[in-house]
Amino acid sequence: MNASIDPRLNALLTTTDTDTQETSEWREALLAVLAAQGPERARFLLDELVRTAHSAKIGWRPELSTPYVNSISVDQQPVFPGDLAIEERLASIMRWNALAMVVRANQAYGELGGHIASYASAADLFETGFNHFFEARQGTGPDQHRGDLVFFQPHSAPGVYARAFLEGRLSEQDLLNYRQEIRAAERGAVGLSSYPHPWLMPDFWQFPTGSMGIGPISSIYHARFMRYLSHRNLLDCSARKVWGVFGDGEMDEPESMSALTLAAREGLDNLVWVVNCNLQRLDGPVRGNGRIIDELEKLFTGAGWNVIKLVWGSDWDGLFARDVTGALARAFANTVDGQMQTFAAKDGRFNRDTFFGQNEELAKLAQGMTDDQIDRLKRGGHDLVKIHAAYASATQHVGQPTVILAHTKKGYGMGSAGQGKMTTHSQKKFDDTDLLEFRNRFNLPLSDQEATSLAFYKPAPESAEMQYLQSRRTALGGYLPKRDTACDTVAVPAIEQYSGFALNAEGKEMSTTMAFVRMLGNLLKDSALGPRIVPIVADEARTFGMANLFKQVGIYSSVGQRYAPEDIGSVLSYREALDGQILEEGISEAGAIASWTAAATSYSVHGLAMLPFYIYYSMFGFQRVGDQIWAAADQRPRGFLLGATSGRTTLGGEGLQHQDGSSHLHAATIPNCKAYDPAFAGEMAVIVNQGINDMMIEQRDVFYYITLMNENYAQPSLPAAMHEQVIRGCYLFETFEGQAKVLSPIQAQDGDLSDATAHNTEIGITNKNEAKAPVTKKIAVAGASTSAGNFSHPAVTLLGSGAILTEVIKAARQLAAQGVTAYVYSVTSWSELARDGLACQDARLAGSATAGVPFVYTQVATSAGPIVAATDYVHALPESVRAYLPADRRYLTLGTDGFGRSDTRAALREYFGVDTAAIVRAAMLALE
């Protein structure tokens, strides 16, 4: 059978040494070079051998993983610059207070939850950062260091609170309000959020990490955005780092891994990840039958990262030095993580018998150590000296991002109550014996009574520990985490400057997407706001007609443009530049939204207000990266999301997976997202203008979601009197009177009758897809009459949004022709109407004497008849305002529920029942 194997593969399979003499000669030759001429020469020779091997095509490539030992050897370790004993004591105190906080919360209310084991394993990783590396925002003026960005593992938050308690930033009362944000205020304390949530603790947490995977990808794009700011000469970020402490289980999330190559490609040496390899996740081992550290080493190395393995603590140094035969490395190579976890959970005796008892050589190494010493042998991620060495090396590394794979024990120090136990992740109950054991384990100066009553421990301010703690943070610029909000103000242009064409469209045909792109192009030209705009696309710029921006502002590239683009002579030429402004993220909505988040929170993270516009296929937004948007919302972003080609029927042929009928429902669930579905360019101009003012001038923590369509139709002018109503959610677009023409409020308020009539009349006439209305019977409805006029035709009120408003207008025309007066309202935002209605209801429920009337109610009060609503979205969207409409008026909603499919726009609208004919039918039904 071997004969059929490719001989090169056969060579790979050959693992036995057929000539040990020759092998040792080669080995010794290398060692001799190393000794005589140093590592550089040794590396050169190895490279040369590799080149030779490749050219001889022997089918060999180096393994991506290295032995299960530290990357940094003892002699490469720098001198530890701190006071080791004090730092260890401090870490122990943090561990205790974090534990006490979680256990006490759960003693009081068993439902609160919280985690102990994760921080117990990560404490030393956090503390080394706090004492030596994490720089806070410091200084003023142009030389200001605006601070490192630190992403904390979410369920290790108790440790961060414990530190803030020692630093004096949180009180004992605050710790007692862990996970009790609502009652805390009544008790005069700060409620401590479960995980890092800037929304809940806006002066404290910077980055939401509670949903696994989002912190990692976000950290990469924040690091890249800092490069972007530097390269565009907006802010020098060169002295700042992005740190992320994440879990080994968390690395399984697709988002964690999806941008590794981007980080390497961009040479993000401002980024350091620390992956806490405690070998466990929630249910059990991360890789019981393998080794997660090896796997991650291969993955990150392959992706182009600098990998530092931090596997063993200093006590192992002596063992490795004495292990001349390599018995330890061999034993580790045969120990899978499931077994390593068992070693963590068991005592020194067990480890002596089971690990060191495997063979003579290992047993000899363990001679002279007591069982207790064996038990205390530290893994790398628990040894402050080794951690410091790894961090120092990472910060000095040039040209690549670094990942530190830190080997730890989950539930470190929790003894028989939790260390290495399968269930340790959720362990939050300790009996007295466990507490005393923990106290003894970490030498905490607590009496038995204090320990068993879970007293928080804070050394006196003048103690060596506290002096040290404070001095280290002073040296690093202050406390962390800390969220700042002060940012510069940017002058914004007047709406007419960039959107005059849309406000005064005078019936010109265009799609709202075209109008938006034109607006964006104009905004980019503004000398003050222009440079702060960050256009973001995920390989769809051409789809949305934005290719002209490539040349106008350039595509950001950290290496400029190293090729002559094929279309170099064209006005739309594909131009990449170091100071390019567009972030072209390729086909990665996850990456694009992460970029958007970085730009939209720049006002806070960097003190520099930026304004991102991310334009994408609306279906690939909230639905695809909804959780990233939710996390961004937590981080209080300011920016625009543009859901283009939106609506279930507007996109025509693209079919089921592309047609979005629900993004507005998603958007409505996000409290700080203002979502709009404008029908006309003028409406959009007003909304964009409001957004710019809200976010850049008023500095409100809101972001805007606007849907854009690719359907061309005549765009009416929008009178100034309507602007405020557009923002609030709806306005009376026009009244189509049954027989005699009546004035629309637009005409009446604008005072320009002929003009407005002309524009509005064009709608529908110019629309190519006018459906034939199968109306067969003349209606004669008793009792329906308008309140706005003194005529007596039956009346109906039609609400429509986005592209479907054009169908609504055509339906109104047909109804009018059949003797029904139709009031047409353009609804610009269902969610804003619903929110306003809810606010009124809440005020009433709270007994407010001044509770207002819902805006949508007052708006339709000037119309008459039953109400019919139609949108390009699911029924639930117009249903969201039902409770706020007059109860005595029938309300019927049309929507596009179900899966999308491919066909022409007209066929789709007919199929989903949102075309002109369907609206007419619904109006008649409502009138019956």
Footprint of Mg ion (CB under 5 A) = 247-249, 278, 280
Of residues 420 and 477, the one with the C-beta less far from Mg ion: 420
**Among residues 73, 97, 70, 260, which one has the least CA distance to residue 165?**
97
Q: Which does 612 bind (CB under 5 to 8 A by kind): Mg ion, ligand TPP, none?
A: none
Of residues 247 and 837, the one with the C-beta less far from Mg ion: 247
The answer to whether the beta carbons of residues 683 and 726 sit under 8 Å apart is yes
Q: Which of residues 416-445 bind ligand TPP (CB under 6 A)?
A: 425
CA angle, 441 then 447 then 453, to 5°: 95
Phi and psi at residue 200, to the nearest 5°: -90, -30
Q: Which of residues 693-732 bind ligand TPP (CB under 6 A)?
A: none
Residue nearest to ligand TPP (CB): 247
Binding of residue 410 to ligand TPP (CB under 6 A):
yes
What does the alpha-carbon distance between residue 612 and residue 533 come to, in Å, rounded to a whole number?
6
Tell me which H or E stretch contains 447: none
Binding of residue 532 to ligand TPP (CB under 6 A):
no
In single-letter form, the type of residue at position 187 comes to R
Binding of residue 281 to ligand TPP (CB under 6 A):
yes
Binding of residue 280 to ligand TPP (CB under 6 A):
yes
Shortest CB 342 distance to ligand TPP, Å: 16
Shortest CB 273 distance to ligand TPP, Å: 13
CB count in 10 Å sphere of residue 744: 21
DSSP annotation string for 859-907:
HHHTS-S-EEEE-SS-THHHHTTGGGS-TTS-EEEE---S----S-HHH
Shortest CB 852 distance to Mg ion, Å: 51
Which pairing describes strands 640-644 and 703-707: parallel, antiparallel, or unpaired? parallel
Shortest CB 448 distance to ligand TPP, Å: 30
Binding of residue 212 to ligand TPP (CB under 6 A):
yes
Of residues 409 and 810, the one with the C-beta less far from ligand TPP: 409
Binding of residue 211 to ligand TPP (CB under 6 A):
yes
DSSP reduced 3-state for 280: strand
Of residues 114 and 493, the one with the C-beta less far from ligand TPP: 114
Q: Which of residues 154-173 bind ligand TPP (CB under 6 A)?
A: 155
Q: Which does 69 bind (CB under 5 to 8 A by kind): ligand TPP, Mg ion, none?
A: none
Shortest CB 256 distance to ligand TPP, Å: 9
Of residues 230 and 339, the one with the C-beta less far from ligand TPP: 339
Shortest CB 265 distance to ligand TPP, Å: 26
Shortest CB 425 distance to ligand TPP, Å: 6
Cα dist from 792 to 322, 419, 862, whole Å? 104, 82, 15
Shortest CB 211 distance to ligand TPP, Å: 4
Binding of residue 405 to ligand TPP (CB under 6 A):
no
What does the alpha-carbon distance between residue 423 and residue 417 come to, in Å, rounded to a whole number?
10
Shortest CB 403 distance to Mg ion, Å: 15
Q: Which does 118 bind (CB under 5 to 8 A by kind): ligand TPP, Mg ion, none?
A: ligand TPP
What does the alpha-carbon distance between residue 392 and residue 385 come to, in Å, rounded to a whole number?
11
- In the block, which residue shows the tokens 């996850």? 590
Contacts of 53 (CB under 8 A, 6+ apart): 60
Shortest CB 249 distance to Mg ion, Å: 5
Of residues 423 and 440, the one with the C-beta less far from Mg ion: 423
**Among residues 825, 836, 815, which one has the least CA distance to residue 881?**
836
The answer to whether the beta carbons of residues 599 and 634 sit under 8 Å apart is no
Of residues 157 and 924, the one with the C-beta less far from ligand TPP: 157
Phi and psi at residue 867, to the nearest 5°: -115, 135
Q: Which does 250 bind (CB under 5 to 8 A by kind): ligand TPP, Mg ion, none?
A: ligand TPP
Binding of residue 95 to ligand TPP (CB under 6 A):
no
Phi and psi at residue 675, to the nearest 5°: -110, 135
Binding mask 363-402 for ligand TPP (x = CB under 6 A): ----------------------------------------
Shortest CB 338 distance to ligand TPP, Å: 14
Binding mask 746-775 for ligand TPP (x = CB under 6 A): ------------------------------
- Please measure the distance between the N-terminal and C-terminal CA atoms of the chain and give it in whole angstroms: 83
DSSP annotation string for 631-665:
HHHHT----EEEEES-BTTTTGGG-TTT-BS-HHH
Considering only residues 276, 511, 871, 880, which one is a binding residue for ligand TPP as defined by CB under 6 A?
Answer: 276
Shortest CB 131 distance to ligand TPP, Å: 21
Query: What strand order describes the sheet that includes 867-870?
Result: 730-736, 821-827, 795-800, 867-870, 891-894
Q: Classify the phi-psi angles of 791: left when phi > 0, otherwise alpha if psi is within -120 to 50, otherwise beta.
A: beta
Span from 89-97, 273-281, 472-480, 855-863 in contact with ligand TPP (CB under 6 A): 273-281
Q: Which does 487 bind (CB under 5 to 8 A by kind): Mg ion, ligand TPP, none?
A: none
Span from 219-227, 242-250, 532-540, 843-851 in contact with ligand TPP (CB under 6 A): 242-250
Shortest CB 277 distance to Mg ion, Å: 7
Span from 47-55, 77-85, 210-218, 757-765 in contact with ligand TPP (CB under 6 A): 210-218
Considering only residues 208, 216, 249, 716, which one is a binding residue for ligand TPP as defined by CB under 6 A?
Answer: 249
Contacts of 516 (CB under 8 A, 6+ apart): 615, 642, 684, 688, 706, 708
Shortest CB 601 distance to ligand TPP, Å: 21
**Among residues 159, 343, 139, 366, which one has the least CA distance to residue 245?**
159
Shortest CB 568 distance to ligand TPP, Å: 45
Considering only residues 174, 248, 589, 737, which one is a binding residue for ligand TPP as defined by CB under 6 A?
Answer: 248
Phi and psi at residue 336, to the nearest 5°: -85, 165
Shortest CB 622 distance to ligand TPP, Å: 17
Which pairing describes strands 402-407 and 576-577: parallel, antiparallel, or unpaired? unpaired
What does the alpha-carbon distance between residue 130 and residue 388 come to, in Å, rounded to a whole number?
11
Of residues 129 and 895, the one with the C-beta less far from ligand TPP: 129
Q: Which does 212 bind (CB under 5 to 8 A by kind): ligand TPP, Mg ion, none?
A: ligand TPP
Q: Which does 104 bind (CB under 5 to 8 A by kind): Mg ion, ligand TPP, none?
A: none
The answer to whether the beta carbons of residues 428 and 114 sit under 8 Å apart is yes
DSSP annotation string for 176-218:
TTBT-HHHHHHTTSPPBPSS--TTTSTTT--S---STTHHHHH
Of residues 418 and 764, the one with the C-beta less far from ligand TPP: 418
Dihedral over alpha carbons 736, 742, 746, 748 (to 10 degrees)? 180
Span from 243-251, 428-436, 474-482, 639-647 in contact with ligand TPP (CB under 6 A): 243-251
Q: Which does 282 bind (CB under 5 to 8 A by kind): ligand TPP, Mg ion, none?
A: ligand TPP
What does the alpha-carbon distance between residue 569 and residue 578 come to, in Å, rounded to a whole number?
20
CB count in 10 Å sphere of residue 665: 18
Phi and psi at residue 178, to the nearest 5°: -60, 130
Binding of residue 257 to ligand TPP (CB under 6 A):
no
Phi and psi at residue 707, to the nearest 5°: -90, 145
Considering only residues 71, 77, 106, 118, which one is a binding residue for ligand TPP as defined by CB under 6 A?
Answer: 118
Binding of residue 278 to ligand TPP (CB under 6 A):
yes
Enumerate binding residues for ligand TPP (CB under 6 A).
118, 121, 155, 210-212, 247-250, 276, 278, 280-282, 286, 410, 425
